[in-house]
Amino acid sequence: MSAMKLVAVGVAVCLLGSVAVADEKKGDNAKLIVGKWEVAKSHAGGPPEGGTVEFTKDGKIIVAGEQNGMKVTFDGTYKVDGKKMVLKFKIGDQETPVELTIDKLDETTCATTSSQGKVELKRKK
């Protein structure tokens, strides 16, 4: 009987450990995204290639670059939840949300997919 209890406790510890690792990874994306990134690849209508995307610690996003010979800047907010990220930009009186899936996020690369297409960012030094 005590061997069964020991096995049950071992299984419970393993399950709790895997939940803790999942929660830790969920938080990792929110921490890893913070910083200034350069747009390496983008889709039509996405952030301008060669431009910058900055994610601040307090949930703000600043996209800057050049489109059609004009400098553009968009300010908004973002929220990361695991592999999902929601960006919100206010254009005029209307707030436009953009839902993204984080395909890859590490110290140097951020790759995302949305309904509009894929974007790849490289961390600026």
* 71 contact partners, CB below 8 Å, separation of at least 6: 64, 65
User: Measuring CA to CA, which residue among 29, 118, 18 is closest to residue 82?
Assistant: 29
Domain count within the chain: 1
CATH of the domain at 9: 2.40.128.280
State the pTM of this model: 0.76
pLDDT at 100 over 80: yes
Span 12-52, pLDDT tens digits: 333 333 333 344 444 599 999 999 999 999 998 889 999 99
pLDDT at 117 over 60: yes
Range of the domain at 44: 2-123
- How many helices and strands, by DSSP H and E, does the chain display? 1, 8
Span 50-82, pLDDT tens digits: 999 999 999 999 999 998 889 989 999 999 999
